[in-house]
Structure 1
Amino acid sequence: MTQTSDLILSAQRTIRLEIEAVEGLLSHVDADFVRACEMILASKGRVVVLGMGKSGHIARKIAATLASTGTTAFFVHPAEASHGDMGMITRDDIILALSNSGSTNEIVTLLPLIKRLGIGLISLTGNPDSPLAKAAEVNLDVRVAHEACPLNLAPTSSTTAALVMGDALAVALLEARGFTAEDFAFSHPGGALGRRLLLKVEHVMHAGEDLPRVQRGTLLKDALMEMSRKGLGMTAVIESNGRLAGIFTDGDLRRTLDREIDVRQALIDDVMTAHGKTAHMEMLAAEALKIMEDHKISALVVVDSEDHPIGALNMHDLLRAGVM
């Protein structure tokens, strides 16, 4: 019966070998990698990713990562390409073909047609002397010394290396394109990720009559009444010219009581936080959340370009909206 220690040692050996395979890629990120990026950036078409077997699974993931980070891409099964799916590929596209051996029959069969159509070809192989690598304009070298499989047969380290090189390609292209978090959100509109990246402050803030606000010089007891009516645990304090003078929150109230200040006689000016942190309506709600977390506060006043308060939001608003 296999001992627990044997299982742990086997797992650790696998992880160690795959770490070594990934570290080996660093020396392969060279002029060929730059050329591959330049080919894709210059292309008017899409990136079509090909791969068979385990390489096919990695190819699907690379295509999905490219597509979600600003590079239009999709996967085509090489065997299906020989039976009609080549019609999905245009002369403006770039083909990224994965094969550890570089001699996968289903891909090699397509090479004459790819060349005849003049479609740009990037290979990602573990054998730079293979038919696929030699046919490609650029070969990304992902060779590994050993598979993590003790028989050195099952694709393990080689598929990990291919996946990591695909991620490196996708991220390099993302940065070259100036791809933003908002761009990313449009590829991920569903679920919590979409809410975090698409939802803006204007969608969750309280505005108009729902915005708690008092003028400078207001008695603290009257400001507390405004806070109670609006139920946000805070109020904005407004200058005579309409600009933001400060903010008063439940936390400020606790600190005021610790100072033994008479809440019936005190003015809001004496106990408010001057100006305070603010948000803008076009800001992502996730950015507003970061401001709150960084400064350990639970509410923000939303101001316009001239520092006039136009809304407010608190942690509960972001929680209800699914941003946190």
Structure 2
Amino acid sequence: MKVKKEIKKNLLPSILGLLFGIILLPLLLITYQTVSYIFDIVYGEKIVNQILNNITSNLSDIDKISLSIMNWEKEYFYNPYSLWNRNYTLQKYGIYKINGSYRCFVRGSPVSWIIFSKLANCEEYAKVFVYLMNKKGIKSRLVHAPGEDHAWAEYYSEDYKIVVDPSENKTILDKKKFAEGRNWSYIESVDIFNISNINDVSDEYIERGILNIRVMSGNKSVEGVNVIIKSPYLMKVYPERYKKSKIVLINKTNKDGKVFFKLGEKEYIVEVRKSYFIFDIIFSKNVSVISNKEINCSFNLDKDKSELRFLNWLD
């Protein structure tokens, strides 16, 4: 009887947690996103034009416009982590209290909502900067290191590419020096108005090596299987903030069961993932990449140890 009670006691929270993960959490995220995009349709253009008029109306020099936007962002935005209070329940759902008003932090929201919320991490800083610069007719793009969760921006001034980090309110004069000690894996620039327009700009910042992956099943090559590169760096350095390794890149094997990645020098987790509807079969290995060298890593799906992982699409 005691055993049954104990099972019921432990099982109920697990079931409730699973239901929250499957139903309530996605529903909450969809609601947040819907509200933010409706807000953008109704108020977006007005808010953006008002900000631009306030901070750039008397400026024509491209570099001065850039500095003006970054200075405004520094004074205007709050970082969600600087406001974090574990005893404030609403913050767990992205709701913060700023100067007496409740604001909702939504990742991936439109620029107008970011401005309205007054909440920004580095990606939001960069996104707002890029959006406002483009609205002023200045070509600008977002740059980010997905595996290490940092974003910044670039813009063009008289055919010269200028790199800035709006979250740190500074211009980057030496990209290699800017990258020192950050353990970046891979860096890309993204056109926020056309997110399929992505350029690999890693070589401007870091030295890289080549990681060759081959996937076999017995003696046969496995084509079309997902190979995922993850960086455990942030999870090791900031365990209180990052509970999982960050995805760097995903690619599929070719007809020979091969795929390669160009990556910064560091340790990675390589996952070969066979996906089904509610679960994945994961084959995983730790690999160290060395700059200017090729490293080979092979998987045999018949022999290597695997892990069954449910609801992996929630990662």
**Structure with greater proportional helix content:** 1
Same structural fold, with TM-score higher than 0.5 when normalized by the shorter chain: no
TM-score (normalizing by structure 2): 0.25
Looking at secondary structure, tell me which structure has more strand per residue. 2
Question: Which gives a bigger RCO, structure 1 or 2 (Cα 8 Å, sep 6+)?
Answer: 1
Scaled by the length of structure 1, the TM-score of the pair is 0.25
